[in-house]
Structure 1
Amino acid sequence: MAIAPVIEERSGCGRGARVAARLMRWFMRPLVSRLPWTPLTLRFAPLLDLGAVLLVPPRGTKLTKVKGLGCAAEWVRGPGVPADSRGVILYFHGGGFVACGLRTHRRMIARISQAAGMPVLSVAYRMQPRVTIQTTIEDCVAAYRWLLETHAADDVVIAGDSAGGYLAFMAPIHALRDGLPRPAGIAALSPFADLDIDVKIAHVNAPLDPFIPAPRMWDMVRTCFPGAELTDPWLSPVHADLSALPPTLIQAGAIEVIRADAELMAERLGAADVPCTLQLWEGQAHVFQIFADISREGLLAIKEIGAFARRVTTADTQPQAA
């Protein structure tokens, strides 16, 4: 018998979030609408991570570079988080599979680490169009495999935002196929989960989203998933066998177009008897948690992620002050 997902509608949208959404609608959405997805343009997309050098993590954050993986990675310990915590979070950043990295997400990840009371392994997987999406997924599975050398699967939560939310689902799906044990939980922030962009174009949020113009997402799919069947279960989370996945937390902004993916993914998880909580945050845009400096709701959502990570792991950790 299917398990109905728990849907929590979080009310309240503060001034900071409203201002951020307005600025995105004025500046970011027009830019995204016009920016061409050409090989030349995409060559410079990774430079966005270099430009994020000013996004410093909270004071007291500890960073440690990781070697031995096929891609860049680092340990992030938020203020007050012990190095010997049993519980860990494996995090995949967003950026449309072509941009962002360790620097763009370091501040938010440090806050997630602090809220959970456990360190986070942040992975800068190799991106398109330099490698195939299969290689990207393999990087994420390899990071999970590496983590299992020192941690029990019951102590690992896999998380990610946007494209990283996609990978937070696909990495364990492929890892389970390879015989690896399932992680303790999955936390997905505004996850991209359905390769069919027409579903998002038809969603009521398509004209409301202040950041993502839904039709442009077809460019991402054509570039990052060339020739793929939209229903391929090894490439599309909503069409995969989800029955072996662990308890899942999904957070999405109530006005973002990716809400369509979040709702469908929650529905499919429930149909597969996987416990899932879907939180829809009033007035919030795509990956609003990254705007926690100006959005009270972003901080609250991060606290929820931390509480979820503690709840699903066997880790003997204590909640940290945010």
Structure 2
Amino acid sequence: MAVAVEPQFIPGASLRSQLLAGALRHTVKPVLGVWGCWPSPLWPAGLLDYAARFLPPTRGARSQRVRLDECDAEWTPAAGGGERAVLYLHGGGFLTCGLNTHRRLAARVGDAVGAGVLSVDYRMLPRYPIGDAVADGVAGYRWLLDRGYDPNRIVVAGDSAGGYLTFMTALAAAELGLPSPAALVALSPLTDLNPAGKLANPGADDCPLIPRSVIVALAEITERVNRRAPREVGGRTRSPVDSVLTGLPPVLIQVGSTEMLYPDAELMAQRLGAAGVPVTLEVWDRQVHVFHAAADLVPEAGRAIARIGEFVRAATGDAVVSESGPKAALTPAEA
């Protein structure tokens, strides 16, 4: 039975969030635009994650490397123990970022949920097709199951390209006969590899971070790499929005209202609802792509992550008591 999806608009953008958007628009976005016009493999994609090695961890976080079938991962136990676990899949357009860039964000999600976090250092483009990244996500899910975590206490989460992997990992796990996780959380997710819908959005140029050229380049790289992959039928990779979604667990999607990927979040919510999957779509006023990563600077990021904790605790069977109620819009904090 189809489920009605009514986006929850979270109004107001703090001064700090507006300053962040302006800074990204005039610094990072132009650099990404240049890469989008000349997406050569000579660009040092791994440099970003290497540089992030020097970021301090969140307070009390103690991580250890683990080995999955074809890639590494990092396990951060829950503070004080706990029965929940988060499988986290980082963003970066399938091309960059990694455990270092996303360690603090993954830890914050784990703290909000009260769970240990397994972050997967999945294989990436252009060396590997996206299907290999999905397989690595499934391997991470098996790792949690093999260590005794109840699937009803596991949530799969990811941001941007990791949002794509969140959905595809859950779908692949179901196809393999594995039990369903308790919930899925997608932050500013990429859900459609076809760039047409994003480029046709009238607000596409308003995105403070991602230029059009990056969306086009990513689609071209994905198609070129997947032509070499025999497992990908016709050299194409399935997108979550084009998949059979029936049977997925409850989903939370959070996205900024001016993001390049806003159409992907909206379309995915509609497709999930049509498939009868309970879905909550939160649209945060003028927040940048994966604003959650700026929790040290932007008050909206902390509130969004707190709402992730509320959602997951409800999905895993714990009562949630919220000041504003689970569906009420939050008032913007002062900068």
Structure 1 length normalisation: TM-score? 0.92
Alignment of 1:273-292 (within 5 A): 273-292=276-295
CA deviations 1:3-28 (Å, max 9, x no partner) are 01242100121111111100111011
- Corresponding position of 1:188: 186
Whether the 8 Å contact between 1:195 and 1:231 is mirrored in structure 2 is: no
| Alignment match of 2:167 (pick from 143, 166, 169) | 169
Residue identity matched to 1:90: L
Whole-angstrom CA distance in 1 between matches of 2:113 and 2:320: 8
- SS for the counterpart of 1:261 is helix
- Corresponding position of 2:85: 88
- SS for the counterpart of 1:148 is helix
Displacement after TM superposition at 1:47 (Å):
2.1
- Corresponding position of 1:74: 74
- Corresponding position of 1:238: 241
Whether the 8 Å contact between 2:310 and 2:320 is mirrored in structure 1 is: no
CA deviations 1:120-164 (Å, max 9, x no partner) are 111110111111111111111111112111212111100000000
CA deviations 1:146-198 (Å, max 9, x no partner) are 21112121111000000000000000111111111111000000000011111
- Corresponding position of 2:41: 39
- Corresponding position of 1:135: 132
Alignment of 1:193-232 (within 5 A): 193-226=191-224, 227=227
| Alignment match of 2:118 (pick from 91, 99, 121) | 121
Q: Which runs of 5+ in 2 are unaligned?
A: 323-335
Whether the 8 Å contact between 1:87 and 1:316 is mirrored in structure 2 is: no
- Corresponding position of 1:108: 105
Residue identity matched to 1:32: L
Whole-angstrom CA distance in 1 between matches of 2:187 and 2:68: 28
Whether the 8 Å contact between 1:87 and 1:314 is mirrored in structure 2 is: no
Whether the 8 Å contact between 1:192 and 1:258 is mirrored in structure 2 is: yes
254-263 vs 128-137, which moves further: 128-137
Displacement after TM superposition at 1:115 (Å):
1.0
| Alignment match of 1:156 (pick from 154, 165, 188) | 154
Q: CA RMSD in A?
A: 2.1
241-250 vs 134-143, which moves further: 134-143
| Alignment match of 1:248 (pick from 236, 247, 251) | 251
Whole-angstrom CA distance in 2 between matches of 1:208 and 1:230: 34
Displacement after TM superposition at 1:2 (Å):
1.0
- Corresponding position of 1:62: 62
Whether the 8 Å contact between 1:3 and 1:274 is mirrored in structure 2 is: yes
Structure 2 length normalisation: TM-score? 0.89
- Corresponding position of 1:29: 29
Greater than 6 Å deviation, 4+ residue runs: 228-232, 315-319
| Alignment match of 1:309 (pick from 309, 312, 317) | 312
Aligned length, in residue pairs:
313
Whether the 8 Å contact between 2:314 and 2:320 is mirrored in structure 1 is: no
CA deviations 1:274-305 (Å, max 9, x no partner) are 00000000010100000111100000001011
Whether the 8 Å contact between 2:68 and 2:140 is mirrored in structure 1 is: no
Whether the 8 Å contact between 2:45 and 2:96 is mirrored in structure 1 is: yes
Residue identity matched to 1:73: A
Whole-angstrom CA distance in 2 between matches of 1:318 and 1:15: 29
Whether the 8 Å contact between 2:223 and 2:235 is mirrored in structure 1 is: no
